[in-house]
């Protein structure tokens, strides 16, 4: 199986630098739609060059992910799209939908933890242990729902699987595989750079062993293994 994890393209939420809102209704920007069209052409060319075919696109149920999936599906030949609410970003409770500036004034501890996490040196499991706010989703619960959905998606006969999602569920899937295959710590949740429209490519062999081939790369940088 060839698994392609693709982050949605830039949305108005990202321009405003806010956390995900409760409804996840923020659309792609005009520039992002153009970028996504070009990406779709490059991705189609990559698939054809390497004799890979896609029967379905799986995506998060947010507007920005579904718009990205729709553009990609149209350029690949109007293939089917299935969206999953279980692939949504972590729900940040009282900080959902707020800008980082407002979060800093509302909850400095959350802001500092999130800032250090973005810099790659903070364990997000510590936030669950130290942030006394029952309105947010814990990382354990978040990972459980993402992993459950991921296992449902890959439990198919497709040899090529595409998932379009937000940064946090893509990271959760990557860490899940890294724990299975690369001795990544089970008690640490760290940051992985996942940019707009970038591709993470993972392969699974006949023995169901995973191999991470590329992480957060432009589609034009990918080359078939072997």
| pLDDT tens, the chain, 226 aa long | 999 999 999 988 777 767 676 667 889 999 999 999 999 999 999 999 999 999 999 999 999 999 999 999 999 987 999 999 999 988 877 777 788 888 888 888 888 998 999 999 999 999 888 876 667 788 999 999 999 999 999 999 999 999 999 999 999 999 999 999 999 999 999 999 999 999 999 999 999 999 999 999 999 998 765 4
Burial of 210 (0-12, 13-18, 19+ CB in 10 A): middle
Could you tell me the domains of the chain? 2-88+137-221 (3.40.50.1240)
Cα separation, 124 vs 40, whole angstroms: 34
- Helix and strand totals (H; E) in the chain: 8, 6
Find, among 155, 165, 160, the residue nearest to 197 by Cα: 165
Task: For residue 89, give every residue at least 6 positions away whose Cβ sits within 8 Å of its Cβ, in sequence order, or none.
Answer: 20, 24, 60, 62, 166, 167, 168, 169
């Amino acid at each position: 199986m060839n698994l392609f994890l693709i982050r949605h393209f830039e949305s108005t939420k990202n321009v405003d630098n806010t956390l995900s809102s409760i409804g996840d209704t923020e659309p792609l920007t005009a520039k992002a739609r153009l970028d996504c069209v070009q990406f779709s052409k490059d991705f189609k060319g990559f698939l054809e060059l390497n004799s890979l075919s896609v029967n379905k696109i799986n995506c998060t149920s947010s507007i920005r992910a579904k718009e990205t999936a729709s553009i990609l599906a149209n350029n690949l030949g109007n293939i089917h799209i299935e969206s999953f609410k279980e692939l949504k970003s972590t729900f940040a409770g009282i900080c959902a939908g707020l800008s980082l500036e407002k979060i800093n004034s509302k909850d400095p501890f959350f802001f500092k933890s999130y800032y250090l996490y973005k810099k790659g040196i903070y364990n997000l499991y510590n936030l669950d242990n130290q942030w006394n706010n029952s309105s947010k989703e814990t990382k354990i619960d978040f990972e459980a729902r993402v992993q459950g959905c991921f296992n449902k998606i890959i439990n198919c006969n497709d040899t090529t699987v595409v998932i379009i999602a937000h940064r946090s569920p893509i990271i959760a899937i990557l860490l899940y595989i890294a724990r299975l295959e690369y001795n990544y710590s089970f008690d640490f949740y760290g940051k992985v750079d996942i940019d707009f429209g970038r591709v993470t490519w993972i392969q699974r062999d006949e023995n169901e062993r995973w191999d991470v081939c590329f992480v957060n790369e432009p589609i034009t940088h990918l080359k078939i293994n072997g």
